[in-house]
Amino acid sequence: MTERINALLSEVESLAAADEKELEALRIKYLGKKGLLNDLMADFRNVPAEQKRETGQKINALKTALQDKLNALRQSLATKEDSHDDLDLTRTPYPVQLGTRHPLSIVKNEIIDIFSRLGFSMADGPEVEDDWHVFSSMNFAEDHPARDMQDTFFVEQHPDIVLRTHTSSVQSRVMEHTQPPIRVICPGRVYRNEAISARAHCFFHQVEGLYIDEDVSFTDLKQVLLTFAREMFGPDTKIRLRPSYFPFTEPSAEMDISCNICGGTGCAFCKQTGWVEILGCGMVDPNVLEANGIDSKKYKGYAFGMGVERITNLKYQVKDLRLFSENDVRFLDEFVSAN
């Protein structure tokens, strides 16, 4: 009996298991119901009384040694599984797929960049606005068609709350709490109740600008816009201003640039005219200054507003406005931005 125990004890040290299956086989062989340890226990009955104590202790020691060994083997298998023996820290990392900036953001940032070089700072405001900041303070008559249901999204049950139709509302907010000189641009999303098609969407993006000081003339406006057009579309770009109407500016104009797709010779994009319209502008109507707490006898100003989608179309010739909001990665991947 003692010899069998000693033989088993000396085996314990050399036990090894390559995987869970082998380990389980060892457990069954030694500690299982019909295992070697239980065999010993069964024979223990026949051990002479005077040896029982010593043999019992030996069997217990064997059992503990077996359990310890199997536990140790189990532990080493577990650590082996998540050990990173194959981790090579010098290997080149997987190519990380970087996203790209949205084309509208690229162009918006470029517009902001140009105007900030001209001394304009940025202003921001809410997209859900009250009628006052969007329309009334901007000199819209009570019955102006822009207030009509067809153009404006109203917040249900709150006829006074609308989704802003232009970022002029931000200019109103700036004038409200700032005295001139004021030189701001207001980039942001605007909403109009239009059927969605390749050429129209129910939301788009604008950058509007406002300049108010004591001695401001239409010439200043024209020069700033010419500089902007040339920075944006290249030094050979020409501009022309056509008389127009906006409630908040007097006089008002729309600005065309020489078509940067055909260079002004005429193409489908500019409908063979050589010119494309890019923005609205004018001298701030004195009524607007007064409504927003600025002395119209002392101060004058100019304002302008453009659609970011339109500028982006001109730069990148995107044929369908809907592409801008579908977030199709194949489309977005075409724009690699440096900023």
Q: Which residues of this protein are in contact with ligand PHE, per CB under 6 A?
A: 166, 168, 208, 246, 249, 280-282, 303-305
Minimum Å distance from CB 218 to ligand PHE?
Answer: 12
Q: Which residues contact 267 (CB under 8 A, 6 or more apart)?
A: 259, 261
Task: Give the whole-angstrom CA distance, residue 315 versus residue 298.
Answer: 40
Pick 186 or 318: Cβ nearer ligand PHE: 186
Minimum Å distance from CB 302 to ligand PHE?
Answer: 8
According to DSSP H, which parts of the chain are helical?
Answer: 2-12, 20-31, 36-44, 49-81, 103-117, 131-134, 168-177, 218-233, 286-291, 308-316, 323-326, 329-332
Minimum Å distance from CB 298 to ligand PHE?
Answer: 21
Minimum Å distance from CB 281 to ligand PHE?
Answer: 5
Pick 172 or 237: Cβ nearer ligand PHE: 172
Pick 188 or 282: Cβ nearer ligand PHE: 282
Minimum Å distance from CB 214 to ligand PHE?
Answer: 20
Composition of the chain by helix, strand, coil, percent to 5: 40, 20, 40
Cα separations (Å) of 191 from 54, 232, 273, 289? 93, 25, 30, 25
73 close to 168: Cβ distance less than 8 angstroms? no
Minimum Å distance from CB 185 to ligand PHE?
Answer: 11
Pick 93 or 243: Cβ nearer ligand PHE: 243
141 close to 175: Cβ distance less than 8 angstroms? no
Pick 131 or 208: Cβ nearer ligand PHE: 208
Comparing every residue's Cβ against ligand PHE, the nearest one is 305
Pick 264 or 280: Cβ nearer ligand PHE: 280
